[in-house]
A = this chain, B = another copy of it.
Amino acid sequence: MTPIDHAARVTDVTTEVGDATLVVANLTDLRWLTGFETSNGWAVVRHGELFVGTDGRYGDKARAETEGTGATVIVEQQAGALAARRSELAGDVAPDRTIIERRRRVKDAAEIERIEAAAACADAALAEVEPMLAEEPTELEVRAELEYRMVRHGADDRSYPTIVATGPDHGARPHHGAVRRRIVEGDTVIIDVGALVDGYHSDMTRSWVVGDASPEQRATYQLVATAQRAGLEAVGPGASSRAVDAACRDLFEQAGCLDDYVHGTGHGVGLDIHEPPFHNQSSDLTLEPGMVVTVEPGLYRGGFGGFRIEDLVLVTASGHRVLTHSPKRELN
């Protein structure tokens, strides 16, 4: 894979910061900027220099991962001493996410390569596991197979705990995890699965009915599928994140089932699984080429179950490119 050019990021951010002082305390921002992945650390950028602080557990890792960025690595065993070192460098300047968060929204080619690779791992795992749905597995069995197979296909890990939400109760909960419930004929099935490759996430959801669909299942699924296509069509450079949400939401409202739509229409994906822009009614962000976002409308009803369809989409100069390729089944 193309290496991530952290040195270039450091140069760009250092230039933007200029004579000011930037304190980076968000750990994902720290990783984006320096390449250093940790559970405890910070960076200070000032006067053209980069300082990275961490504790004794991560000293070697910090030096190895920031190599080539020109970072000065500071290691202190005690939390108080580490905080004091940051104060020496940055005074009482508070951490600020603005500069890096804005830069993180637009992915470069190396980042897109990783996100696409992650999406491909989830596609490959789902293709192998989908036939299991007819064999009455438990939700947990489906999840374990998906997560294991994503790694076998090249992922470093799952992106998030895979959601397998099935049947009239679990299926009606958009963020139900996966339990020992057996999946049986007539169930609605939601599988929301993503992989992690070199820190970058993918995110995808597909839905099914096991066996023959009822008229209500068929109608509800088709409505979600129609809304999802409308949401995808709304993704392009210059479109507002709110418009992507509205494309789905308006269709559900016209169909009289807006109460069954209990979440936003999507979010950015990168080093975090959920990051700006967020497609919802209060978003004020405009989509730009290089942004990678989800489009994921769904409908959920207690006693019925639910459906969600989600793709991961790259905003391009001329429109968009879908990164998740698992087929969307027609209900029969």
Contact = CB atoms under 8 A, between A and B. Distances in A.
Interface centre among A77, A143, A172, A262, by most chain B C-beta atoms within 10 angstroms, is: A262
A60 B172 contact: yes
A58 B175 contact: yes
A286 B141 CA distance: 41
A1 B141 CA distance: 20
B175 A39 contact: yes
A211 B25 CA distance: 43
Given A57-B262, A147-B148, A156 B173 contact: no
A157 B151 contact: no
Given A39-B175, A172-B60, A152 B144 contact: yes
Contacts of A143: 151
Contacts of A157: 161
Contacts of A39: 175
Contacts of A172: 60
A302 B60 CA distance: 8
Interface string A140-166: 110110011001100011000100000
Contact of A57 (B56, B58, B147, B263): B263
A174 interface: yes
A17 interface: no
Contact of A173 (B60, B169, B179, B302): B60
Contacts of A176: 61
A161 B147 CA distance: 12
A151 B148 CA distance: 11
A173 B77 contact: no
Interface string A72-115: 00000100000000000000000000000000000000000000
A77 B262 contact: yes
Interface string A230-264: 00000000000000000000000000000000110
A163 to B, nearest CB: 12
A141 B61 CA distance: 22
Contact of A61 (B140, B147, B173): B173
Contacts of A169: 60, 64
A56 B262 contact: yes
Contact of A58 (B64, B161, B173): B173
A58 B141 CA distance: 24
B151 A57 contact: no
A176 B64 CA distance: 13
Q: Which 5 A-B pairs have the closest CB atoms?
A: A144-B151, A148-B148, A56-B262, A60-B302, A57-B174
Given A39-B175, A57-B174, A60-B172, 5 more contacts: A60-B302, A64-B169, A143-B151, A144-B151, A147-B147
